[in-house]
Structure 1
Amino acid sequence: MKHVDLFRNFLNDEVNLNQTRVDSLETSIDAIKKFVRESDWEPKIVRWVGQGSWAHKTIIKPVDAGEFDADLLVMVSPVEGWEATNYIDELYWEFKASSTYGDMVRRYSHCVTISYANDKKIDIAPCVIGRAYAGSIEVCNRNTNQFEKSAPEEYTSWLIQRNTWSGSNSFRKVTRLIKYLRDIKGTFKCTSIMLTTLLGERVSAFDQNSANVADTPTTLKTIFDRLDDWLQAREVKPMVSNPCLYGEDFASDMTQDQYANLRTVIHRYRGWIDDAFAETDRSESIGKWQRVFGEAFAKDVVLEEAVEVSKTAVASARQVFGAIADTSGDLVTLLGRFGAQVIPRGIRNLPHMRRPTWQVSPTPSMSVVVKAELYASRGFNKLRDINSADILPPGRWVQFRATAANGLPLIGEEYDVQWRITNTGRVARAHNALRGEFYPSDTRGYRWERLEYRGVHVAEAFVIRKRGNIQIGKSEPFLVAVE
């Protein structure tokens, strides 16, 4: 499912740089411009040009709540007798002598950087106009003392055109989403300029007003699928050319190993995106989108559904037993009153349940059953065997055991048993303990859990073959009701 509204909220709440920081950035940039104009820096300023994600409107909120970067080009006329290094060094010394910026300034190969602690960095890069020939634009490389051709405004125009073709700013939104994916996963390295170019090349004039870019999630799927197709067709690292400057390769600093990893990871995420998009069950689809973008995606909806399972149970009870049935109380009360038939089927695939990141065999080769025993304390004083949906007292311990369908234990070094433990209800929510993650076995095929929060909770066993990291079996959910 697409969940257009959820994507809109996710972008606004989690991905986009918040307006307060945007306003702060613009205020800081205005102050920097004023300072440079009023300084003794010799070059004549022709104009100022934004560059990078700020200018391209693809800037995102740092996922670690740290600093973000913005690039500002100061376009100047050439100074007779100046070499490339002079433009950066002389600008640096102007800032260094300032009581405002003296402790904030650093210089690098192509720019002077002003750092605002725990907030942002603004790179000011001199660009010389008309030095080599009329209309030429060159950045200054301080390390090599060379002038280098550049086409920043043309590149920005190229991206604007792609965004126009996609409609509703969906290209920009998708670029932000994929940069966010890169940053939260940390599973591949790709510079923002290279990534943005790769994505921009996947959009053409034929997409304008087409169903391929009808909305943000559809555009995400379209562009990501095309990117994966392009990468899979190229096993050896290709050039990623600047579309506006012949000969510049944005992939020049990427190694073959880094490219191979990028190719593998993008292919994996393409499968996850396609799976989430195609899923017709709402809760399952949200859970699959969370596998892509993390638990921040649709987090309010996810928490609400985890807490409100009792409402669904009330509706089920009234449907089965009639409108006059006593449906007061929470899910545990209803379970005691009416039995397991009031348990909502949706408890099996709540959105906050983590979806497997390993491969799942299309033809599972192992039937898995979960058995459970109640203990007074962990490892001591067994009280009894328990069945799924039994109502149990808090403070006790449960030992879960994954077995084959014939009751035999799962043995063999080639297998790993992972447990997904999911809590529901208001009490678990109040303790920030809805969980839903995967946990390893304590010993082979066994898992201990303490009964703590009133509600109906879920334990599931997943059997993964270590060779290939492929899921070959999964149990039915084992329901644990805690008084």
Structure 2
Amino acid sequence: MTARVREFNAFLRDYVNLNQTRVNTLQSRVSSLDKFLGDESTLGDLVTDDVIPQGSFAHKTIIRPYIGNDFDADVLLPMDEDPDWEPKKYTIELQKALEASKRYEGKTTLGKRCVTIDYADDFHIDVVPFITRGDGTTYITHRIDNEWIRQDPVALTEWIEESSRATNGHLIRVIRLVKYLRDRSSLNVASVVLTALLTERVHSFAGVDEYQNVATTLVSLIEDLNDYLGPMSSAPWVDDRIGQNLADRLTQTGFTNLQSQLKTWARKMRAALDAPSSESVDKWQDVFGDKFGASAKAEPMLSASAAPIETYEKREAPGEQSLERDHHIPVRIQPEARFRLVGRMSATRRASGRYRPMSATGNHIPIGRSLSFTVEDCTVPAPYDVYWKVRNAGIEAVERHNLRGQIVKGGDKMTEHSSFAGNHWVQAWIVKNGVAVATDIQDVTITSS
């Protein structure tokens, strides 16, 4: 078995993942839009919270657009119900509010469920009114049919985030890879359907071997999905986490094509994973094309004097500590020893109340929030020790010489502050009798303003 970790990392970085310039543009424009809608627009009295990332934006599965396509961000605009408004009025009033601004005038298109803002480059934002009605339930609206549509995309985002943790974060990378393949095939499967189908195949008890790297996770999930869908004559129910069927978006032809493509992918991917090292790159190229392996280079740890464009993303940074190397604590993760590291952020400038889970927004955090991280649902019997690492990444972290990465002993809770943009993370270990038996990671994506 040859995992080709270096080649997968390089392929994702150079050909699949949305490049950092576009990520910064996306985050900056969403932040500007959020400020306008909440503080400056005619909708201000109804807007109850910051915009909520939705879909691929929330799930971190946006990929580099294929030739001729653009990329987009979907956001929900949390609003209170106005008892005098019909469902269709929310999108209509949203467009009016945007068109009243010089920044968005002439850039909007009124859709069935959203208002689309088109920018000069290959990018647009779909803004969806997200209404909390009098009974506390949440809805989006359909302008043409003038009806309420029950929806809770936050529940979907939290489910995907939790499933990703069970795969050591590799689920998100697998979804990106499969979307890359879809865009270069004849498949017509919506991203949310593909994402949910793959997420359903994640098993928390699958074990370390199946989800130890991108390649093994990819093959495991594709083979499981092929085995699941292969015998079916029509698409199964795909739960959106509140009892509605996402597969309604999949035609019979689309489902049949998906079955055929999964069968081919499963066969080729298994052959590539099981191939000897001398043949594996060629076999993975049979799946992804000749770009796979073309730019892979050794990536040793860089010195602190590296160029400021280096972000050290998911790599060991200068000065970063290891539990085993620097604290002489052996790491022997035990399947029965588990806990959840839950990150929460303070209430927004418009909302009030307790801290809310970061997972509700796909771990996207605005600058200037108070953050808390808590060890919860721990199966390790007390007493035990908790060791913590806070790791910053991104250009700002490098320029400020603040990558961090030190490991400290603490209690079941720690607090931080969202100070600058970047994809950061917090990791905790449960240490019992001098051995680290469980660990978990909370990603923290602080968005640029």
TM tier relative to shorter chain: 0.5 to 0.7
The 1-side partners of 2:199 and 2:265 are apart by 19
Cα offset, 1:189, TM superposition: 1.3
Structure 2 residue aligned with 1:164: 165
Structure 2 letter corresponding to 1:200:
T
Q: Which amino acid aligns with 1:210?
A: V
- 1:32-47 maps to which residues of 2 (within 5 A)? 32-37=33-38, 38-41=40-43, 43-47=45-49
- Cross-structure match for 1:94: 97
- What residue is the counterpart of 1:192 in the other structure? 191
1:299 aligns with 2:294: yes
Superposition deviation, residue 63 in structure 1: 2.1
Q: Which residue number in structure 2 is paired with residue 407 of structure 1?
A: none
| Secondary structure of residue in 2 paired with 1:2 | coil
1:286 aligns with 2:289: no
Q: Partner of 2:229 in structure 1?
A: 231
Q: What is the 5 A alignment of 1:63-462?
A: 63-64=66-67, 66-131=69-134, 133=135, 135-167=136-168, 169-184=169-184, 186-207=185-206, 209-242=207-240, 244-246=241-243, 248-282=244-278, 284-300=279-295
**Structure-1 residue corresponding to 2:14:** 13
1:59 aligns with 2:56: no
Give secondary structure in 1 for the equivalent of 2:116: strand
Counterpart Cα distance in 1 of 2:276 and 2:123: 41
Question: Is 2:3–2:273's contact at 8 Å kept on the other side of the alignment?
Answer: yes
Is the Cα contact below 8 Å between 1:84 and 1:147 reproduced in 2?
A: yes
- Higher helix fraction: Structure 1 or Structure 2? 1
Question: How far apart are the structure 2 equivalents of 1:200 and 1:154?
Answer: 13
Deviations 1:332-365 (A, max 9, x none): xxxxxxxxxxxxxxxxxxxxxxxxxxxxxxxxxx
Greater gyration radius: 1
Superposed displacement of residue 241, structure 1: 2.2
AA partner of residue 72 (structure 1): V
Separation in 2 of the partners of 1:8 and 1:228? Answer: 25
- Give the C-alpha shift of residue 42 in structure 1: 5.9
The alpha-carbon distance between structure 1 residues 100 and 266, as it changes in their structure 2 partners (threshold 3 A), is same
Partner of 1:143, secondary structure, is coil
Compared with structure 1, are the counterparts of its residues 276 and 142 closer, same or farther at alpha carbon in structure 2 (3 Å cutoff)? same
Evaluate the alpha carbon distance shift between residue 63 and residue 57 of structure 1 in structure 2; reply closer, same or farther with a 3 A threshold: same
- Structure 1, residues 225-252: CA drift from partner, whole Å, max 9, x if none? 001001112122222222x111x21111
Structure 1's consecutive aligned runs of 4 or more residues displaced over 6 angstroms after TM superposition are: none
Partner SS for 2:48:
strand
Structure 2 distance, partners of 1:130, 1:12, is 42
Provide TM-score, normalisation by structure 1.
0.59
SS at match of 1:29: helix
The residue type equivalent to 2:47 in the other structure is I
* 8 Å CA contact retained: 1:43, 1:78: no
Any idea what the Cα deviations from partners look like across 1:200-246, whole Å, max 9, x if unmatched? Answer: 00002213x5211011100001001001001112122222222x111
Contact 2:10–2:295 (CA<8 Å) still a contact in 1? no
- d(CA) in 2 for partners of 1:171 and 1:15? 14
Moved more, 61-70 or 84-93: 61-70
Structure 2 Cα separation of the partners of residues 166 and 54 of structure 1: 20
- Mark the runs of 5 or more structure 2 residues left unpaired by the alignment: 298-449
Local SS of the residue matching 1:211? coil
- Alignment check: 8 A CA contact 1:187 1:265 kept: no
For 2:35, give the aligned amino acid: K
For the residue of structure 2 that corresponds to 1:44, the secondary structure is coil
Task: Report what 1:23 is aligned to.
Answer: 24
3-state SS of the aligned residue for 1:299? coil
Post-superposition offset of 1:158: 0.3
| SS of 1:71 mapped into structure 2 | strand
Distance 1:265 1:58 in 2: 20
Contact 1:66 1:118 in 2 (8 A): no
Distance in 2, Cα, partners of 1:84 & 1:3: 51
Question: How far is 1:65 from its partner?
Answer: 6.3
Q: Which secondary structure state, in structure 2, belongs to the residue aligned with residue 75 of structure 1? A: strand
Please, which runs of 5 or more residues in structure 1 have no aligned partner? 303-483
Q: How big is the shift at 1:270?
A: 1.0
Structure-1 separation of matches of 2:175 and 2:45: 36
Asked if 2 retains the 8 angstrom alpha-carbon contact of 1:42 and 1:79, the reply is: no
User: Any conservation in 1 of the 2:37–2:47 contact (CA below 8 Å)?
Assistant: no
- Match of 2:205, SS state, is helix
Q: 1:66 to 1:188 in 2, by over 3 A?
A: closer
| RMSD of aligned alpha carbons | 1.6
Aligned CA distance change for structure 1 residues 50 and 18 (closer, same or farther; 3 Å): same
In structure 1, the residue matched to 2:396 is: none
1:165-222 deviations in whole A, cap 9, x for unaligned? 111x1011111111111112x2211100100000000002213x52110111000010
User: Structure 1 residue 111: deviation in Å?
Assistant: 0.5
Query: What is the aligned length?
Result: 294
